[in-house]
Structure 1
Amino acid sequence: MSFSLAIIGRPNVGKSTLFNRLVGKKLALVDDRPGVTRDRREGAARLADLSFTVIDTAGLEEGSGASLQGRMRAQTEAAIETADAILFMVDARAGVTPDDKYFADLVRRAGKPVVLAANKAEGRAGEAGFFEAYTLGLGEPVPISAEHGEGMIDLFDALRLALPEQTNAPAAEDEEAAPRQFADDEDGSDLDLAKPLRITVVGRPNAGKSTLINRLLGEERLLTGPEAGVTRDSIGVDFTWRDRKMKLFDTAGLRRRARVVDKLEKLAGADALRAVRFSEVVVLLVDSTIPFEKQDLTIADIAASEGRAVAIGLGKWDLIEDRAKTLVTLREEAERLLPQVRGCPVIPVSGTTGEGLDQLMRGVIAVHETWNRRISTSRLNRWLLSAVEETPPPAVSGRRIKIRYMTQPKSRPPHFVLFGNQLEELPASYERFLINGLRKAFDLPGVPIRISKKSGENPYEGKKRG
C-alpha cells in the first residue's frame, strides 16, 4: 500500500535536498539561500523497498495571510492536510530554534503520524542539535544527512514504525513484533524478528561473493565466473534460514578508487556502498589465499563508519592447506587490524563446497543481536564509576575533566552519551579506553560503538535509579 509524506520545516533545513534524494532526481532547486522553495512539489519516491509520494514544501515562516510568507505557509498547511504522514525536519547544526518549537506545535495539532528528522547530523557539529531535537516532543529524532545520504536506513525504519499498515510493518500494538520500551534499570533489545534481516555481502573483485550466495540459496541465482567484475548491480534476494526471514544483497567487487577508471565500475561501486548503508549486517568476504589487503580493511572501515554490524567470511577456504594454523593467524590479524569491530565473527567458508555456511549465518545472527542491544542506565553507571576511579580522565590546563553520567539513547549500533564538564577536551585515547571497556564489560563484539559528549548539568539528577 502506498502513502504520501510531506516534508515540513523552517527554511534552509534541507527539505528539498532530501526530496531530491528520495525521488532520485534533482527535481527541486537547492541553494544555500533560504526560501528557494515556494510551491509544494510532489514526486514518486523510493526508499529501500518502500514506494510512496513525497511532498516538498516551502519553509515555514510567520507572516500575515496576505503576505508572500503567509501564502507559502498556506501551501504547506494544505500539504499537511492531504498527506498521510509528516516528516518534520530540523537542522542539527543550528540546533532547535523558537521557530522549530512553534511549528512543531502546528504539526502536533495536525494529528498525523510524525517522523522527526535531524538533518546535517554528520560529524560532531550536529551532535548537540540532535539531542536538542528530543525537546520538541515529537518522539525520537532520526539523525540523517540528506546531502550525503547518511541515516536513510534509520529513516526507513522510522517510516515503517509510523505507518505500519501502509508499509506492511507489524503494528505498534503487536507486543511480539514492535520494539519494546525499557525502563532505565532494565537491559533490553530493539530486535524485531518480524522484519527480514538485511545482509550485504561485500569484498574485493573475485572474492567469491556470488558463489557464496548461490550456495546459501541452493540454486544458481546469481551469475558467477572466473572473471573479476561479473557482478555490477547490487542484487537483493529473499532468503529464509532456520525460519528467519532475510534479504541478501550481492554487490560488485570494490577496488581502490585510484584504480577505477571505467564509469560503469564507478557506478557499480557506488551502488554497492548504497547497499551497505541499507543493510544491518555486512559480511566482508576475504580471499583466504591473499587475506586482509588494504582494500579489505578499507571496506571494513566503511561498514563500521556507516554503523553496520560486521562478520568476516574467510572465502575459498577449500584452497587452504594448513587450516588450523591459518585460522589462528587470520583471527589474530582481524583483531589487530580492525579494532573498530573487534571481536567480530571470523568464519572460514567455501562457496564451492558449502563449508562453514551454517557457522557464518550463526555469526551473522549473533552480531545482529548485539547490534540491537540496549544496556540499562544503572549498569552503565556502575561500570563507569569503577572505570573512572581506576583510570581517571587527564587534567586540562590544571582542571580535571569530570565524567558524571552515561546513558544509551539508542542502539543499531550501540550509542552512548557522556555527561560532565570539559568533555570537549576529552582525548581520543580516553574515548578509545571507554569504548574498549564497554565492549569487554557488556559483551559487544563485532559492532561499532558510538560515544557522544554533552557538557552541563546531569538531566537525570535526582531520578530514582535501579
Structure 2
Amino acid sequence: MGMPTAAIVGRPNVGKSPLFNRLVGKKLALVDDRPGVTRDRREGDVAFGGLHFRVIDTAGLEESDAATLMGRMRMQTEAAILAADVVLFVIDARAGVLPADQPFAELVRRAGCPVILIANKAEGGTGLAGAYEAFTLGLGDPIPFSAEHGEGLGELHEALKGVLPKPDPEDDEDEEAPGGRSLKVAIVGRPNAGKSTLINRMLGEDRLLVGPEAGITRDSISLDWEWRGRKIKLHDTAGMRRRARIDDKLEKLAVSDGLRAVRFAEVVVVLLDATIPFEKQDLTIIDLVESEGRAVVIGLNKWDLVADQPGLLKELREDCTRLLPQVRGVAVVPLSGLAGEGLDKLMQAVVQASEVWDKRISTSRINDWLSEATSRNPPPAVSGRRIKIRYATQVKSRPPHFALFGNQLNALPKSYTRYLVNGLREAFELPGTPIRLSLRTSQNPFDKG
C-alpha cells in the first residue's frame, strides 16, 4: 500500500481521460467527445519525473438518483475521492466555471484531502479567463493546462511534488505496519445474522445496540479497531432484506446505506446464520458484493449451535463451491460472535483476502500462462476462422482485472471465458476474489481500447 493515489475528478467532458492518458502514457482510457463515456473507474501507475503514484480516472460526476447509471458513476467517484491522497479537480477553461462544477467542488472540499485545480483545454493561452474564473471555486490556484498538448505539465509536477505523501518503502513490504493505512472491512448479512453481536465481541465492548428483533441496526456505523497491530475500519451495516419486504422508507434508506458500505469497503464479510445457511437472500448478497468487485469472506455465525454435526463444515464448503462459482475458493470461516470463537481465523482470512484482491501479476507471467492455456484448450473457430488471443495483461488490481487482446474476441463463448478465469484463479492463486476480464479486439495491445 506504499504507493500514493491521485483521483481525477470533474463534471463530464472536461478532459479527465486525456489527462489520465497523458499521465499513464498509454491509451488505456476510452476517449470520446460524448460526455460520460468513462463509466467505470480506471487505474494506472504513473512514473512522472521521479514521482511514483497510482492515478484513478473517475466517471463524470453527476448529481442524480443513485439507482441510475449516473448515480452509480457518482458513487464510484466518491469512493475514489475517499481512497485518494490528492484530488486532481478538472474544469474546462474554455467553458469557464459552470454551475454544475460547484456541487462537486463542495464534495471535494468536504473530503478534506489536498486538491490540485486543473483548468484544462487552455492550450496556447486560450481560455485563460476561464482558468482565472476557477479561483471562485475556493480550491486554490488553478493550473492552466492542456492534456491534449501536454502544456502545464511542469506546473502540475511541482504541485504534485508538494502534496503527494512520500511512499514508505517499508509499508510496501509490511502490510501490518502499525502506522499503516486502515483496512476497510464491512460486515453484511441478512437481518439477525448476528452482525452487531460479532462486532461488539471484536471491539470487546457493547458499542452497538443488539437485540433479538431483526433489523435493529438502522444505519451503517464505521468504527476504528486494531487487530494484531493492523488498523481496521469496521462497517456494521443494517441487515439487507429482500426488497419486496421493505415497505417503510427508513428501511429502504438503511439498505442503500448497506450497499454504500459495501462500495467503500475493501473486504466484505458476509455473515450467514450457520443454522440456516445459503438462503436465496444470502446468495443475492454475495452476488452483489462480487458485482461491486470487493474481496469476500464468508463467516458462518452461530456455529456453536451446530458444531456437534460431524462433516457439516465440509458439506457447507462444497455447497459454497457449487452455489458460488464466481468466488470460487472463498474462505468459509465457522465462528460464534456470542461465544467469541473463530474471530482470529476470520481476521486472518480477511487480511489474506485483501492481499489476493490487491495482487498484481507481471505481464510476462500472464502471457506464459496464456500460451499454455490456449494450446491446451484452443479457442473455438467462428465461421471457419479461429479466434486468436494474442496478448494479455493485468490492467488493474482491487479486484484483479485482466485485458485480453486478439481477433474476434467478441465471439468468444461464455464457457471459454469461464475456462480462462478459472485458469487465472488457479495459476496465480486468486481464491475467492472477483476477477474481471475485458476482451479487446485489436492488433495492438495499446490501440485505443
Q: Quick check: TM above 0.5?
A: yes
Supply the distance in 2 between the matched residues of 1:435 and 1:284 (Cα, whole angstroms). Answer: 23
Contact 2:132 2:142 in 1 (8 A): no
Q: Distance in 2 between matches of 1:270 and 1:412?
A: 22
Q: Indicate conservation of the 8 Å contact 1:282/1:303, yes or no.
A: yes
Equivalences for residues 184-333 of structure 1 within 5 A: 194-333=180-319
Paired with 1:176 and 1:18, the residues of 2 have a C-alpha distance of 40
Q: Does 1:110 align with 2:172?
A: no
Cα gap change, 1:324/1:243 in structure 2, threshold over 3 Å: closer, same or farther?
A: farther
Distance 2:230 2:408 in 1: 46
The one-letter code sitting in structure 2 at the alignment partner of 1:82 is G
1:177/1:293 CA distance change after superposition, 3 Å? same
2:98 is matched with which residue?
Answer: 38
The SS at the match of 2:214 is coil
Question: Are the counterparts in 2 of residues 37 and 57 from structure 1 also a CA contact under 8 Å?
Answer: no
- Say yes or no: does 1:177 pair with 2:224: no
Matches of 1:75 and 1:427 in 2, distance apart?
52
Give the Cα separation in 2 of the matches to 1:229 and 1:46. Answer: 33
**Map of 1:329-344 to 2, 5 A cutoff?**
329-344=315-330
Distance in 1, matches of 2:416 and 2:9, equals 43
Report the alpha carbon displacement of residue 262 of structure 1 after superposing the two structures with TM: 0.9
* Equivalent residue, structure 2, for 1:51: 112
C-alpha displacement at 1:343, in angstroms? 0.6
Aligned twin of 1:82: 140
Show CA shifts across 1:378-426 (max 9, x none). Answer: 2212211111011111111111100111111221111111121111211
Cα distance 1:15–1:347, how it changes in 2: closer, same or farther (>3 A)? closer
2:412 aligned partner, one-letter code = L
283 and 441 in structure 1: CA distance in 2 versus 1, 3 angstrom threshold: same
Correspondent of 1:17 among 49, 52, 62: 62
CA distance in structure 1 between the partners assigned to 2:219 and 2:241 by the alignment: 15
Q: Answer yes or no: is the 8 Å Cα contact 1:5–1:52 preserved in 2.
A: no
Q: Which whole-Å CA distance do the structure 2 matches of 1:263 and 1:438 have between them?
A: 43
Q: What CA deviation, in whole Å up to 9, does each residue of 1:275-296 have, x standing for no partner?
A: 1011110000001111111111
| Helix, strand or coil at the partner of 2:10 | strand
Q: Offset at 1:50?
A: 3.8
Deviation string 1:247-282 (CA, Å, 9 cap, x unpaired) is 111000001111111100110111111110111100
User: What does the per-residue CA deviation read over 1:326-370, in whole Å, with 9 as the maximum and x for residues that have no partner?
Assistant: 211111111111111111110111111011111111111111111
CA contact (8 A) 1:439 1:445 kept: yes
Question: Structure 1 residues 162 and 370 mapped into 2: Cα distance closer, same or farther (>3 Å)?
Answer: farther
Shift, 1:446, TM fit: 1.0
Gaps of 5+ in 1: 25-33, 89-98, 116-160, 166-170, 181-188, 461-466
| 2:439 paired with 1:453 | yes
Among candidates 387, 401, 404, match of residue 373 of structure 2 = 387
- Aligned pair in 2 of structure 1 residues 37, 301: CA closer, same or farther (>3 Å)? farther
| Partner amino acid, structure 2, of 1:38 | L
Two-structure CA RMSD over aligned residues (Å): 3.8
Distance 1:395 1:108, change over 3 A: same
Aligned to 2:62, what secondary structure does the other structure show? helix
Instruction: Specify the SS of the correspondent of 2:310.
Output: helix
Deviations 1:280-320 (A, max 9, x none): 10000001111111111111011111111100000111111
- 1:6: Cα distance to partner? 7.4
More deviation, 386-395/15-24:
15-24
Look up the SS of the partner of 1:101 in the other structure.
Answer: coil
Corresponding residue for 2:3?
none
**Quick one: which of 354, 364, 367 aligns to 1:378?**
364
Q: 1:400 aligns with which of 354, 366, 386?
A: 386
Q: Gaps (5+ residues) in structure 2?
A: 1-5, 16-32, 37-58, 65-70, 80-93
Residue aligning to 2:148: 101
| C-alpha separation in 2, matches of 1:367 and 1:75 | 46
Pair 114,380 (structure 1): closer, same or farther in 2 beyond 3 Å: farther
Aligned length: 372
* Residue of structure 2 in register with 1:151 after alignment: none
- For 1:162 and 1:226, the matched residues in 2 are separated by 53
For residues 336 and 313 of structure 2, the distance between their equivalents in structure 1, rounded to whole angstroms, comes to: 14
Q: Is the 8 A contact 1:377 1:406 kept in 2?
A: yes
* Contact residue 416 and residue 451 of structure 1 kept, 8 A: yes
Tell me the amino acid that sits aligned with residue 44 of structure 1.
E
Q: Deviations over 1:85-135 (max 9, x none)?
A: 99x9xxxxxxxxxx8524xx24524325889xxxxxxxxxxxxxxxxxxxx
Structure 1 residues 407-457: Cα deviation after superposition (integer angstroms, max 9, x where no partner): 112211111111211112111211110001111122110101111122223
Is 1:426 equivalent to 2:412 in the alignment? yes
Offset of 1:38 from its aligned partner? Answer: 2.9
Call closer, same or farther: CA 1:113–1:322 in 2, change over 3 Å.
Answer: farther
The separation in 2 between residues aligned to 1:80 and 1:433, in whole angstroms, is: 52
SS of 1:379's equivalent in the other structure is helix
Which amino acid in structure 2 is aligned with residue 51 of structure 1? G
Change (3 A) 1:54 1:110: closer
SS at match of 1:403: strand
Amino acid at match of 1:176: E
CA-CA distance at 1:75 after TM superposition? 2.5
* Cα 1:261/1:114, change in 2 over 3 Å: farther
